[in-house]
Amino acid sequence: MAPSIEEKAEMASACNGIGGPPYRVTVVGSGNWGSVAAKLIASNTVKLPVFHDEVRMWVFEETLPNGEKLSKAINQTNENVKYLSGIKLGKNVIADPDLENAVKEANMLVFVTPHQFVAGICKRLVGKIKPNTEAISLIKGMEVKTEGPCMISKLITDMLGINCCVLMGANIANEIAVEKFSEATIGYRQDKEVAQRWAQLFCTPYFLVSAVQDVEGVELCGTLKNVVAIAAGLVDGMDMGNNTKAAVMRIGLREMRALSKLLFSSVKDSTFFESCGVADLITTCLGGRNRRVAEAFARNGGKRSFDDLEAELLQGQKLQGVSTAKEVYEILSHRGWQSMFPLFTTVHEICIRQLPPSAIVEYKEQITNATVVEGVAPYC
Ligand SMILES: NC(=O)c1ccc[n+]([C@@H]2O[C@H](COP(=O)([O-])OP(=O)(O)OC[C@H]3O[C@@H](n4cnc5c(N)ncnc54)[C@H](O)[C@@H]3O)[C@@H](O)[C@H]2O)c1
Ligand SMILES: O=P(O)(O)OC[C@H](O)CO
């Protein structure tokens, strides 16, 4: 049985000497994964004395078809009726549509929104968060600025002046929501203790978390695999079979590793063998949303846009792969690296309908002739 509030306060006071649990968590985001993350976290905060029971979850407010506000519906039903219906989040999850109010007491912030919204959210949070707050980003994506790529964890650190770890992995949210076993990887910069606290917050018997000292490696794995997932979906949409899909995944993994290492020399090879690496690539290419929408795109012969298909098939959930392919393309073209990354380049050109879906395997000439990236064995 979970301890009572009084018992928790007593235990916390014994373990921190100041009375009351020292850590208070807010989840910034409430989409499909955001809601599952809140559920995972809430199941731990009620049990562990170092955390306040309550988990605030910031909701980007919207009006449901019945006229009700989403945040109110979540608090009444204890379910995110739009993004994760049928799953109880835990009574200690409180939906809050007021961003400032949601973060004002927290000293552990979990960022989990589609990557295109993070800069706007952080702008609103400047000067509004408590000193010594720690953050973790579950967001798979990056921004490209004039000076080059900026990972989301770095953007959070730069804009808010707080340390930011990352958590990525083979984590299709709907499967974790029904407590099917999976693993995840935390990437941390220096402070192992902070990483361990995040692991404590997320770990459950069905969600095992490990930590590696490689923020950029972990985050780039989570980000770049979405581009490969688009390629895998295109292959599925043209019924090209398992061998072709495996080939695309292998080439994609190779490009993920090569680009990550070119962008950040600190990235470790071993990171690609963690859950955030090859395992996430596999699950995304088998069962993710990027794969699914790309399959529909190819089945339509590229006649309907990704935006159109995303809106129809995902009902408000967001794809990350199409915008990431564009961001990667910007990096590659700025540096003249397109020929070294034929799969990434071709995915973008298909997404913008400059090339037909079938081009996903027609670029093999380029692969054969591709410049070999330092440290990466030749393609053929
Ligand atoms: N869903 C998964 O299985 C999964 C698993 C692991 C990681 N992720 C990553 O987590 C991140 C968040 O994904 P998700 O699945 O929780 O979200 P989602 O795609 O299910 O939902 C979209 C969210 O964006 C919000 N939104 C819409 N317009 C907005 C705006 N202008 N400003 C702020 N928010 C707005 C919506 O309210 C909703 O909460 C992504 O980077 C994704 O790649 C997702
Ligand atoms: O559904 P996707 O394609 O956004 O992928 C979900 C997760 O990132 C899988 O780990």
Q: Which ligand is nearest to the CA of 293?
A: 2
Assess if residue 380 is contained within a domain.
no
pLDDT of residue 378: 32
Which of 192, 213, 234 is the C-terminal boundary of a domain? 213
The vertex-268 CA angle with 265 and 273, nearest 5°, equals 145
pLDDT of residue 363: 66
252 marked among binding-site residues: no
Return the structure tokens found at 154: 């770095």
- State ipTM: 0.99
Do 238 and 193 lie in one domain? The reply is: no
202 marked among binding-site residues: no
Closest Cα to atom 4 of ligand 2: 289
How many angstroms separate the alpha carbon of residue 211 from the centre of ligand 1?
23
Closest Cα to atom 5 of ligand 2: 288
Which of 182, 213, 244 is the C-terminal boundary of a domain? 213
pLDDT of residue 146: 75
How many angstroms separate the alpha carbon of residue 4 from the centre of ligand 1?
33
Query: Which of 14, 18, 94, 25 lies closest to 49, judged by CA?
Result: 14
| Ligand 2 atom, smallest distance to 170 CA | 10
Do 194 and 241 lie in one domain? The reply is: no
Do 198 and 71 lie in one domain? The reply is: yes
Does position 275 have pLDDT exceeding 60, yes or no?
Answer: yes
Do 175 and 310 lie in one domain? The reply is: no
Q: Where residue 13 falls among pLDDT bands split at 50, 70, 90?
A: low
Which of 156, 189, 213 is the C-terminal boundary of a domain? 213
* For ligand 1, mutation pick of 57, 113, 123 (most atoms within 8 Å of CB): 113
- Bridge-based pairing of strands 148-151 and 142-145 is antiparallel
Helix (H, G, I), strand (E, B) or coil at 207: strand
Does position 375 have pLDDT exceeding 80, yes or no?
Answer: no
* 324 φ/ψ angles, rounded to the nearest 5 degrees: -65, -40
Domain that holds residue 317: 224-366
Please state the rounded mean pLDDT for residues 15-31: 82
Quick: pLDDT tens for 50-63: 999 999 999 999 99
Closest Cα to atom 27 of ligand 1: 60
| Ligand 1 atom, smallest distance to 35 CA | 16
Do 132 and 73 lie in one domain? The reply is: yes
Please state the rounded mean pLDDT for residues 363-378: 47
30 marked among binding-site residues: yes
80 marked among binding-site residues: no
How many angstroms separate the alpha carbon of residue 114 from the centre of ligand 1?
4
For the chain, the domain total comes to 2
| Ligand 1 atom, smallest distance to 141 CA | 41
Quick: pLDDT tens for 50-107: 999 999 999 999 999 999 999 999 999 999 999 999 999 999 999 999 999 999 999 9
**Residue corresponding to tokens 């997404």:** 351
| Ligand 1 atom, smallest distance to 318 CA | 19
Does position 374 have pLDDT exceeding 60, yes or no?
Answer: no
Do 150 and 176 lie in one domain? The reply is: yes
For residues 137 and 187, give the distance between their C-alpha atoms in angstroms, rounded to a whole number: 10
* For ligand 1, mutation pick of 82, 318, 322 (most atoms within 8 Å of CB): 318
Task: Kindly list the protein residues whose Cβ atom lies closer than 6 A to any atom of ligand 2.
Answer: 140, 170-172, 229, 280, 283-284, 288-290, 320
Assess if residue 79 is contained within a domain.
yes
Identify the CATH number of the domain in which residue 288 sits.
1.10.1040.10
> Average model confidence (pLDDT) for the chain?
93
Assess if residue 374 is contained within a domain.
no
* For ligand 1, mutation pick of 41, 60, 89 (most atoms within 8 Å of CB): 60
Identify the CATH number of the domain in which residue 35 sits.
3.40.50.720
Assess if residue 125 is contained within a domain.
yes
Quick: pLDDT tens for 281-330: 999 999 999 999 999 999 999 999 999 999 999 999 999 999 999 999 99
Closest Cα to atom 7 of ligand 2: 172
Distances from the Cα of 143 to the Cαs of 12, 119, 148, 169, in angstroms? 40, 9, 9, 20
Amino acid, res. 123: K
Return the structure tokens found at 150: 């900026």
Helix (H, G, I), strand (E, B) or coil at 51: strand
Do 290 and 235 lie in one domain? The reply is: yes
For residues 291 and 22, give the distance between their C-alpha atoms in angstroms, rounded to a whole number: 41
Does position 7 have pLDDT exceeding 80, yes or no?
Answer: no
pLDDT of residue 373: 45
Task: Kindly list the protein residues whose Cβ atom lies closer than 6 A to any atom of ligand 1.
Answer: 29-34, 60, 83, 112-115, 117, 138-141, 171-173, 317-318, 320
Q: Where residue 14 falls among pLDDT bands split at 50, 70, 90?
A: low
Do 50 and 153 lie in one domain? The reply is: yes
Does position 379 have pLDDT exceeding 60, yes or no?
Answer: no
Return the structure tokens found at 349: 């050109």
- Identify whether the C-beta of residue 125 lies closer than 8 Å to the C-beta of residue 117: no
Return the structure tokens found at 185: 């990887």
Q: What is the pTM of this model?
A: 0.94
379 vs 249, higher pLDDT: 249
Instruction: Please give the positions annotated as active site.
Output: 225
Assess if residue 378 is contained within a domain.
no
Closest Cα to atom 31 of ligand 1: 117
Do 230 and 343 lie in one domain? The reply is: yes
Do 204 and 335 lie in one domain? The reply is: no
pLDDT of residue 164: 98
Do 299 and 335 lie in one domain? The reply is: yes
pLDDT of residue 58: 98
Assess if residue 219 is contained within a domain.
no
Q: Where residue 148 falls among pLDDT bands split at 50, 70, 90?
A: confident
Do 46 and 131 lie in one domain? The reply is: yes
* 370 φ/ψ angles, rounded to the nearest 5 degrees: -60, 145
Does position 333 have pLDDT exceeding 60, yes or no?
Answer: yes
Percent of the chain past pLDDT 70, that is, above it, reads 90
Q: What is the dihedral of CA 344, 345, 347, 353, to 10 degrees?
A: 170
- Identify whether the C-beta of residue 126 lies closer than 8 Å to the C-beta of residue 41: no
Does position 11 have pLDDT exceeding 90, yes or no?
Answer: no
Assess if residue 341 is contained within a domain.
yes
Does position 380 have pLDDT exceeding 80, yes or no?
Answer: no
Q: Which of 209-213, 255-259, 341-345, 359-363 comes out lowest in average pLDDT?
A: 359-363
289 marked among binding-site residues: yes
* Residue 73 DSSP symbol: H
Assess if residue 244 is contained within a domain.
yes
Instruction: Give all strands (DSSP E) within the chain, no chain letters.
Output: 23-28, 51-58, 93-96, 108-111, 134-137, 142-145, 148-151, 164-168, 182-187, 207-212
Does position 371 have pLDDT exceeding 60, yes or no?
Answer: no
